[in-house]
Amino acid sequence: MKLKYRLVRSPAPAWFSALIPLLAIVVTFAITSIFIIIAGANPFEAYYYFLIAPLTSKIGILEVLVKSTPLLLTGAAVTIAFASGYWNIGAEGQLYAGAVAAAYLGTALVGVPQPAAVIIMLLGGFVAGMLWGLVPAILKVKLSVDEVVTTLLMNYVALFFVSALLNGPWRDPVSNWPQSPTILANTMMPKLFPPARLHFGFIVGILAVVAIWFILSRTGLGMRMRSVGMGQEAARFMGVKIGRTMFITALISAGIAGLAGVTEVAGIHFHLIDAISPGYGYTGIIAATLGNLNPFGAGAASLFLGLISTGAQSVSRALGVPTFLADVVQATLLLVTLAMFLLRNYTLRRVE
């Protein structure tokens, strides 16, 4: 007798959900191998440098954590927004707003002791991010303007605003480069294991992940936020104030994204530059999605994405393939994971 199988629309068994990240990685590497071969390298060797090599040395591991730091923050920002039904695509712009605040405070906090200065920097960045997220949030709540569009467009406004600052009033008077003056030593994020670059911002990132987990799963506000994200109509019926809840969500999310700007300015670059973020705000969306909007999932995804981007540099050094291979891997991983999430709704049934 010949056996036939058919995909049926019913939830896949629980073990499949657990396997998704692993399967997604395997499939992604199968697909991206094609590009690696085109680039003239051996895929297995390439993946050794991509995934294993960065973890073989202490300095490599610390570098992975450095790369993960902004992603932990933008990932957390996007996760709390998406989980609450507010589609904040504007983490990138909110990050830039936080970075501007850090660059300003970093030159203004003269003589403030470092612990206090760092806290003020973080608070300042949080508020700046919130302010940047305020306009789309108000438009959404008061006029139902689609936040996907407004938050996205605000990113470009932020980018050009920073560019205008750097080419105008904030241009470094010493070097004449389009970069802001170097921030004061007391406002820099302390290094965790000097001389490695890893800084206090990483701790902030981890705390942000824990904080959004706590808000979402342990507080009344978080329960209301989730209800808006998962069933707005029913939430309204049960008396949740949709507009108010979304507004709070938008501000928390934007604030956390603002923190990422602070950690990059005060932990890595020490001044504001145009390219302070190579798209961390967008990569945060990838992290949140890979983590299935679970805070710890997003955190783990951020670490993994940090590994890929560190690995891209080592693979490019060792085998001469372009570093933007990391972007290709990231994008492929996102698409494959989304496809896998879709598959969760199906099971394979045997038909006679």
Partner 1 sequence: MDAVQMLGITKQFGPLVANNKVDFELRKGEVHALLGENGAGKTTLMRILYGLYKADSGEIRVNGKTVQIHSPKDAIAYGIGMVSQHFTLVSPLTVAENIVLGFNPGLRLDPKQVNKNVDDAAKKFAIDIKSTSLVRHLSVGEKQRVEILKALYRNINVLIMDEPTAVLVPQEVDALFETLNRLRESGLSVIFISHKLFEVMTISDRITVLRDGKCIGTVDKKNTDERLLAKMMVGRETFGVQRDSEACSGKPLLKIQNINARDKKGLLALKDISLEVCEGEVLGLAGVSGNGQAELASVLSGILKPESGRVFLNDQDITHLDPQSISKAGIGRIPEDRHAGVVGEMTVAENLTLERLDEFLKNGMLDRKKIKTHAEAMIKEYQIKATPDIQTRKLSGGNMQKVILARALYTQPRMIIAAQPTRGLDIGATEYVRNKLIEQRDRGAAVLLISEDLEEIRSLSDRIAVIYEGRIVGILPCNEATEETLGLMMSGAKEVANEA
8 or 275: whose CB is closer to partner 1?
8
243 lines the binding site for partner 1 (CB under 8 A): no
Separation between Cα atoms, residue 322 and residue 269, nearest integer Å: 24
| Cβ neighbours of 347 (radius 10 Å) | 15
C-beta separation of 70 from 266 below 8 A: no
CB closer to partner 1, 166 vs 215: 215
Q: Report d(CA 291, CA 300) in Å as an integer.
A: 7
How many C-beta atoms lie closer than 10 Å to residue 272's C-beta?
27
- From 105-113, 125-133, 139-147, 237-245, span contacting partner 1 (CB under 8 A): 237-245
Which distant-in-sequence residues (6+ apart) come within 8 Å of 17 by Cβ? Answer: 344
14 is a site residue for partner 1 (CB under 8 A): no
Q: From the CB of 146, what's the least distance to partner 1, in Å? A: 18
Q: Are 47 and 319 in contact (CB under 8 A)?
A: no
219 scored as a contact of partner 1 (CB under 8 A): yes
Q: Give yes or no for residue 244 binding partner 1 (CB under 8 A).
A: no
**Sign of the torsion angle spanned by Cα atoms 266, 310, 254, 296:** negative
Beta bridge partners of 5: 350
Regarding 8 and contact with partner 1 (CB under 8 A), the answer is: no
Under the criterion CB under 8 A, does residue 43 sit at the interface with partner 1? no
Among 240, 251, 288, 334, binds partner 1 (CB under 8 A): 240
Q: How far is the CB of 75 from partner 1 (least distance, A)?
A: 21
In whole angstroms, how close is the CB of 233 to partner 1 at the nearest point? 5
Q: Which residues of 280-313 are buried (b: 16+ CB within 10 A; e: fewer)?
A: bbbbbbbbbbbbbbbbebbbbbbbbbbbbbbbbe
Q: Which of 100, 154, 235, 329 binds partner 1 (CB under 8 A)?
A: 235
Q: Per CB under 8 A, does 218 bind partner 1?
A: yes
- Taking CB under 8 A as the criterion, the residue among 67, 199, 226, 269 binding partner 1 is 226
Stretch that binds partner 1, among 90-98, 221-229, 277-285, 309-317 (CB under 8 A): 221-229
Q: Shortest gap between Cβ of 67 and partner 1 (angstroms)?
A: 33
Whether the Cβ atoms of residue 272 and residue 162 lie closer than 8 Å to each other: yes
Query: Mutual orientation of helices 91-108 and 147-167 as an angle, nearest 10°?
Result: 30
> What's the residue count for the chain?
352
* Closest to partner 1 by CB, 163 or 345: 345
Q: Does 185 help bind partner 1 (rule: CB under 8 A)?
A: no
Q: Judged by CB, which is closer to partner 1: 48, or 346?
A: 346
> Which positions touch partner 1 (CB under 8 A)?
218-224, 226-227, 230-231, 233-241
